[in-house]
Chains A and B, each alone.
Chain A
Amino acid sequence: MLNIDQKIRVLVAKPGLDGHDRGAKVIASALRDAGFEVIYTGLHQTPEMIVNAAVQEDVHVVAMSILSGAHMTLFPKVRELLDGAGANRILLTGGGIIPVEDIEALESQGVGRLFGPGTPTTEVIDYIQNWFVGQDTF
């Protein structure tokens, strides 16, 4: 059963070559302030680097920020590598400049909710908390 006191561990990641980290850092700070344990990868990570970090740090959630338009390549790739590493229970979520049709397509490929510009950080926090409570064991 879920231990209520267990801290939710989140890896905030910046995949690809995109250097826009304002969103990633704001989210990382907000999640930490909300009591999560947050690890931030830094910039310019490959999908392999992100998945290695997620497995090594034993996180519950990987949250990726992508503003480069490469989301249709990077989200499925990270999902595939996570599943391949036996980490299919890890929630893959994120945000950035992602058109609605792409969000729908990615959600059908096993990616969690994706958040666009203007989303309050509380909405992201609530989403992760609700997801976590919905998991019976971890």
Chain B
Amino acid sequence: MSTIEKEASGSSELLVLLREQEAELSELRERLSRWEQSYAQAQERDSLFSTVSGREIKPLYTPLDRSASQYQDALGFPGEYPFTRGPYSTMYRTRLWTKRQFAGFGTAKETNERYKYLLKQGQTGLSVAFDFPTLMGFDSDHPRSLGEVGVCGVAISSLHDMERLFEGIPLNEVSVSMTINGPAIILFCFYVAAAEKQGVSPRVLRGTVQNDILKEYQAQHAWIFPPEPAIRCIVDMFEWCSENTPNYNPISISGYHIREAGATASQELAFTLRNGFEYVERAIARGLDVDSFSPHLSFFFDVHNDFFEEIAKFRAARRIWARMMREKYQAKNPESWRLRTHAQTAGVTLTAQQPENNIVRVAYQAMAAALGGTQSLHTNSMDETLALPTEKSVRIALRTQQVLAFESGVTNTIDPLAGSYFLEALTDELERDALAIFEEIDCLGGVVPAIEEGWFQREISMSAMLQQREVEAGDRVVVGVNRFTEGSEEDEIETLRIDPVIEESQVAQMADLRAHRDPEAVERRLRELQESSRTGENLVPRILECARVYCTLYEIRRAMEDVFDSYKEPVFF
């Protein structure tokens, strides 16, 4: 018996209402079936009519597509459980998303100048891109860093570099996001120590460190230690941050890299949330109260080409997270149920051919992120398939967000697409997909065993291969690449070049640093860190001590690696 029937029993007025509704539904079914018959006669365009993730889309959605779940249960109000309509009750009516462009190149000095430029242009938060040596825990003067110093991001090998990176940028005012994973705990300590040097207490620091190692094994591949010690470092940070940095997110659980590596929307959604639950389980197992750290877990999703599927993904993510956190993990604090996320437009959709078209792709993707209710956004620059972006192309990308926020009107009401038969059906469908994938992962013994046997990696590669085949067969249109290619040859735009002198100057800085610090203190702090790595002690205070006496990134990494060992990937294709 449905709720309506229960309430209706005994009340003739409600019974009449119920009958009317039933009559309406049966008429709807009839009319839909007539419509479908007539549609079947039509000659459809020669097109896939499926999302980039391969999801079949029907020609028409009606109230009949909405699952049985009721409005209050499935949608509710923004800022209220299950948060489908948005994590905050007033959303963009009171505060727009943070416009946060990911940037970094060369030495700390060059990047510091770019940050000051971006802040002057109206950007409201900073986001640090590190170079590959830093991402992998190598100093700029390590032999393995040769040719890569400052090329793909900024080189940060010690507290000294971190101090220069934020020179003249008050860390008590600007929120800073750092994309670093394998050595996240080390770079985080450099950051806290740099703030101390500015006289800024950890308690007022705002920002996020990515620190999501599980998706590194699955997709992005910037790892150092094996899963178990790596997860220990993450839980150490949850613990330390919940006591010392109340305004800082010690993790950004990221689907972005999973999607960019080839996953579908459903895989991105499911893998990311499942990774999030893994961290929750590990922290609970350590003995932490679920409500002590969960309010500081943040997320990061990709915004790909398929407009509606992407919006639905954000809504489904919030709903699944809220339900699982409340029901399965018994979180009591509504802050622990609330999924807050950063979003970035999909780099993988940008084309090297006719690069100016990328401005348009980015704009549609950015709109999907806003309609999905993101808390912050990075818009890619049109030239990123060719090189690091120029100042001009970064400005256009930022302006794209400003046009969206201030001119388009999409910020005027909260969750404006709610109630769309199509969008709600897609949201339900993505949720169902994710729950099915959770079960599959559980059958494999959980996240870490599935990583060790290469399951995630294989799933992602398979999806990437299928997408490539669709494009090469011409079934999936990529404008300027496999259709409308006129002009693809001659189109050239100016690109940014990194001066090789940067590597030399950074290497010289390192020699200078090593010559001018207290070698005895360096050695002592590293020894203490190694000792604590062996015992179960929280490593954050130890690494902070190392940072303060200018131990370098690689020295700290080595001290830990001697105890933790390094990760060996399962190789296959």
Which of B128-136, B366-374, B443-451 lies at the binding interface? B128-136
Within the complex, the shortest CB–CB distance from B35 to chain A, in Å, comes to: 40
The contact size tier of chain B is 35 or more
User: Closest approach, in angstroms, between the C-beta of A28 and any C-beta of chain B?
Assistant: 4
Residues of B within 8 A of A (CB): 132-133, 135-136, 138, 144-148, 151-152, 216, 220-222, 260-262, 348, 350-353, 385-388, 461, 464-465, 468, 472, 478, 481-482, 492, 495, 497-498, 500, 569, 571-573
A19 and B468 contact, CB distance less than 8 A: no
The interface-forming segment of A54-62, A106-114, A115-123, A126-134 is A115-123
Starting from the known contacts A17-B138, A40-B573, A41-B571, 18 additional A-B residue pairs (CB-CB under 8 Å) come to A12-B573, A17-B135, A19-B221, A20-B221, A25-B465, A26-B464, A28-B573, A29-B461, A69-B387, A69-B498, A70-B147, A70-B148, A97-B386, A99-B386, A99-B497, A117-B351, A118-B353, A122-B472
- Chain A residues, CB < 8 A from B135: 17
Task: Give the nearest-CB partner of A118 in chain B.
Answer: B481
**A69–B148 CB distance below 8 A:** yes
> Nearest chain-A residue to B500 (Cβ)?
A72
A-B Cβ contacts below 8 A, count: 103
Q: For A43, what are the chain B residues with a Cβ–Cβ distance below 8 Å? A: 221, 569
Q: What 5 A-B pairs are tightest by C-beta distance, nearest first?
A: A73-B147, A19-B221, A42-B571, A17-B132, A69-B151
B498: chain A residues within 8 A (beta carbon): 69
The smallest C-beta distance from B491 to any residue of chain A, in angstroms, reads: 11
- Contact partners of B145 in chain A: CB under 8 A: 17
| A80 within 8 A of partner (CB) | no
Interface size on A (CB < 8 Å)?
37
List residues of chain A with CB within 8 A of the CB of B569: 42-43
- When A97-B386, A97-B387 are in contact, do A26 and B465 touch as well, CB less than 8 Å? yes
Q: Are A99 and B387 in contact (CB under 8 A)?
A: yes
CB of B333, distance to nearest CB on chain A (Å):
36
Which residues on B sit within 8 Å (CB–CB) of A118? 351-353, 385, 478, 481
Q: What is the 8 Å Cβ interface bit string for chain A, positions 71-104, against chain B (1 contact, 0 not)? A: 0111000000000000000000000010110000
How distant is the Cα of A22 from the Cα of B407 in the complex, in angstroms? 37
State the Cβ distance, A118 to closest chain B Cβ, in Å.
5
Output the residue of B350, B385, B468 with the most chain A CB within 10 A.
B468
Contacts of B136 in A (CB 8 A): 17, 44
List the A residue with the shortest CB-CB distance to B143. Answer: A46
What's the nearest-Cβ distance from chain A to residue B246, in Å?
A: 33
Residues B260 and A22 in contact, CB atoms below 8 Å apart: yes
Asked if A29 meets B147 with Cβ closer than 8 Å, knowing A118-B351, A118-B352, the reply is no
The docked-state distance in angstroms from the alpha carbon of A43 to that of B350 is 24
Most buried by B among A38, A116, A122: A116
Q: Say yes or no: is A52 at the interface (Cβ < 8 Å to chain B).
A: no
Listed residue (A25, A73, A74, A122) with the most chain B CB atoms within 10 angstroms of its CB: A25
**Residue among A21, A24, A68, A72 having the largest count of chain B Cβ atoms under 10 Å:** A21
Q: How far is the CB of B111 from chain A (nearest CB, A)?
A: 15
For A26, the chain B residues whose CB sits under 8 A away are 461, 464-465, 468
Given contacts A17-B144, A19-B221, A69-B498, whether A25 and B151 have CB atoms under 8 Å apart is no
Closest CB in chain A relative to B302 CB, distance in Å: 13
Q: Which residue of A lies closest to B147 (CB)?
A: A73
Closest-CB distance, A82 to chain B (whole angstroms): 17
Pick from B461, B482, B573 the residue with the most CB of A within 10 Å.
B573
Residues of B contacting A12 in the complex (Cβ-Cβ under 8 angstroms): 573
Contact A116 B352 (CB under 8 A): yes
User: Are A16 and B573 within 8 A (Cβ)?
Assistant: no
Are the CB atoms of A72 and B147 closer together than 8 Å? yes
Q: Given the complex of chains A and B, what is the CA–CA distance between A12 and B571 in angstroms? A: 12
Residues of B within 8 A of A116 (CB): 352, 385
Chain A residues whose CB sits within 8 angstroms of the CB of B482 once the complex forms: 120
CA distance A45 to B372 in the complex (A): 40
Residue in contact with A68 in the complex, picked from B152, B478, B497, CB distance below 8 Å: B152
Give 12 pairs: A residue, B residue, CB < 8 Å, sorted on A: A18-B152, A21-B221, A24-B573, A26-B464, A29-B465, A42-B569, A68-B151, A69-B388, A73-B148, A99-B386, A117-B385, A118-B478
Determine the distance from Cα of A25 to Cα of B454 in the docked complex, in whole angstroms: 14
Instruction: Name the A residues within 8 Å of B222 (CB-CB).
Output: 17, 19
| A67 and chain B: residue at smallest CB distance | B152
Q: CB-CB < 8 A to A72: which residues of B?
A: 147, 500
- Minimum CB–CB distance from A77 to chain B (whole Å) comes to 8
Q: How far is the CA of A43 from the CA of B573 in the complex (A)?
A: 12
Indicate if the CB atoms of B387 and A40 lie closer than 8 Å. Answer: no
